[in-house]
Amino acid sequence: MSASARGILLVLDGWGEAPAGEGNAIAAAKTPYLDRLRETCPARLVEASGTAVGLLAGVVGNSEIGHMVIGAGKPVPYDSVLVQEQIDNGGLRTNGLLADMCARLAEQDKALHLIGLCSDGMIHANVEHLREILLAVAAHGVSKVWLHAITDGRDVADGSAAGYLDQVEKYTAEAGVGRLASVVGRGYALDKAGNLALTKEAGLVIADGVGRPVPRAQDALGQGKSDEWVEPCVVAEAQQAIGVGDGILFTNFRSDRIQQLADFLVEHLADREVTVRSLAQYDTRAEIPPLVGRARTGGGLAEELERHGLRSVRIAETEKFEHVTYYVNGRDSASRPVEQHVRITAESPADYRKRPEMNLDLVVAAVVEHARRDEVDLVVANLANIDVVGHTGDYDATVLATEHTDRAVEQICTAAAEAGRWVVLVGDHGNAEQMITKDVAKRPYGGHTTNPVPAVLVPASGQEVTAAETAGTLADIAPTLLNLLGLAVGEEMTGRPLWDSAAHVHCGSSGTVLLTAAFGEGSTIRPVDVGAGLHAVLRTSEDGASHVLCVHNGKQEPAVFVPGEHLPGDTNDQLVFVHGETVTRARGEDIECVLEPGRHVWLGRAGKQ
């Protein structure tokens, strides 16, 4: 594959678009390079939230669904949507897994423990689901229900936890069952970076009641701590450890941040014969049956690259490593011989405000290294700083994180230009462009938004592109990448390329054909380079390499030839047709070849250059 047919995808996590103003850390940051790219390169905004990506209408985007849709090339019905559909259809109250567990607990007079994030941020959980769960559990006759609340302050405004705990108590009163038994901040309970000491503290307060005693759940809040870092507390009046034969239901619908805690509890409680269920499917070491299954996400970018033999490298810090691997691949953890993963060790969460650059220099070094390798067709990397630091709610630190990202993008794009690669930049969801609440209080806000995200193409030298007619969503990113790589859009993809590259055009029903902009003298191509339905004149040398002689330019004009190459013989009075890779020549007026759409392409009148 020629250098200009190879590229880089940079996901700028949390890079959203909003008018400049108070609370917009991205607009406040000094980003001369990104500003110049958006002014001089093909750029547009794309939707990254709500129904455009498979979420409920008006729901903010997130990294998990963002990367899944980027990789799938189509909206992916998110787990929260599937859960809500079951609730709306009354299916939760008749769910067999829930009914069977509740029947056993009621018969044996055992307790059910509900564990999950208590907020309506809609990134990991929805506190409103607790109402339906409590009503269903009560209908099944379970009388002992303990709630272990995980406070948020990250996907929703800090300081809002008390209101959510009050909301939970209203639900328990309505259902006639349930009491808050413990409280812990998500900084402990939802760590996903391998900080097992934090996970253990959260797990022990839930499983064994080990924590600071408080009279009421709301008394656990404050104490100079943000909602995210509420220390593990036990509600004294309801102090309840998880007993032998009890049941657990994890109420988060998103897997990645709850699974570390779930794994700890399953292992810690192994001798207590506890029945464990989850609201949605988790990727834990132990198999936890979910009440609601997942949507299929096959036929995406990973499958298309593998099918055509293209090699990709995925690079990210630990916080976002699963996003560029597991989630881009449609929640598929299978290893692929054409895919390499590079994990950059992340700093601990306590360092994010003090080190907004995180390990960006190591990410850049890895991207540059692999961009220079001819055998790598596509580099996919996540630059996590804007989102990770944005979640702290620290405006000044997020401005610095954005500026670090700007310099990183410049280094990567410079290296890409030297290697003859194109670069696509895209946000996966909004965040840092809105860091205060929209209400009168204007409190610090570190959550996600429904704002669109920028998408920018930095073409390779000499590469020409034209804007395509498409609504513009994250579902268009995989088709765009395949288009730039010279491949057809996957059959299961509903997205469309945001830009058409001059390296390939569509010639009616004849399929995708390449232009010589993607090739130079002596260029070689592999079968994958031709895309679906390529028609080109090739010459196979003794070493088996296929050299491009000429390719169709999509118009009824003379064929374009690679400099220094020509068709054999006196061809001034010949017309050249192509059937697959077989050249059909007809002399002048004696044309006997019948052109069949999709099988033959007119290459024009052949001649020496």
What single DSSP character describes residue 325? I
HSE, side-chain direction, 13 A CA sphere, residue 442: 6
> Options 3.40.50.720, 3.40.1450.10, 3.40.50.620, 3.40.50.2300; which CATH number does 80-278 get?
3.40.1450.10
Torsion angles phi and psi, residue 172, rounded to 5: -65, -35
What single DSSP character describes residue 52? G
CB 465 within 8 A of CB 501: yes
pLDDT, position 539 = 42
pLDDT, position 223 = 86
Q: Which two tokens stand for residue 474?
A: 């994250």
Q: Which two tokens stand for residue 171?
A: 């639900």
HSE, side-chain direction, 13 A CA sphere, residue 120: 14
In 3D space, the residue among 39, 40, 8, 32 whose CA is nearest the CA of residue 405 turns out to be 32
pLDDT, position 299 = 92
Look at 4-8, 179-183, 383-387, 568-572 and tell me which has the smallest mean pLDDT. 568-572
Average pLDDT over residues 548-574: 36
Rg, C-alpha atoms of the chain: 28
Average pLDDT over residues 472-480: 97
Which residue in this structure is represented by tokens 């003794």?
Answer: 542
The single-letter code of the amino acid at 323 is H
Which residue in this structure is represented by tokens 């989102």?
Answer: 387
- What are the sequence ranges of the domains in the chain? 7-70+296-501, 80-278, 505-605
Query: pTM for this one?
Result: 0.75
Furthest CA-CA distance within the chain: 98
Average pLDDT over residues 195-216: 96
pLDDT for 223-257, tens place per residue? 899 999 999 999 987 667 999 999 999 999 999 99
pLDDT, position 274 = 98
pLDDT, position 532 = 31
469: which residues sit within 8 A by CB, 6+ positions away? none
Q: How many CB atoms lie within 10 A of CB 97?
A: 15
Strand (E) positions, 442-529? Answer: 453-458, 465-467, 499-501, 504-506, 512-514, 524-525
pLDDT, position 277 = 98
Average pLDDT over residues 574-591: 36
Query: Considering the chain, what percentage of its residues have pLDDT values greater than 90?
Result: 71
Greater confidence (103 vs 590) lies with: 103
Look at 58-67, 115-124, 299-308, 456-465 and tell me which has the smallest mean pLDDT. 456-465
CA dihedral for 60, 63, 66, 68, sign (positive or negative): negative
Greater confidence (265 vs 237) lies with: 265
pLDDT, position 469 = 75
In terms of CATH, what superfamily is 7-70+296-501?
Alkaline Phosphatase, subunit A (3.40.720.10)
Q: Is the pLDDT assigned to residue 419 strictly greater than 90?
A: yes
Greater confidence (514 vs 609) lies with: 514
Greater confidence (419 vs 193) lies with: 419
pLDDT, position 550 = 43
CB 20 within 8 A of CB 402: no
The single-letter code of the amino acid at 56 is L
Q: Is the pLDDT assigned to residue 67 strictly greater than 70?
A: yes
Q: Is the pLDDT assigned to residue 570 strictly greater than 70?
A: no
pLDDT for 337-391, tens place per residue? 999 999 998 666 667 899 999 999 999 999 999 999 999 999 999 999 999 999 9
| pLDDT-based confidence at residue 500 (cuts at 50, 70, 90) | confident
Average pLDDT over residues 477-486: 93
What are 456's strand-pairing partners?
Answer: 43, 425
Question: Which of the following is catalytic: 4, 49, 63, 226?
Answer: 63
The answer to whether residue 278 is catalytic is no
What secondary structure does DSSP assign to 280-329, as a single string?
A: E----SS---EEE------SSHHHHHHHTT--EEEEEEHHHHHIIIIITT
CB 388 within 8 A of CB 13: yes
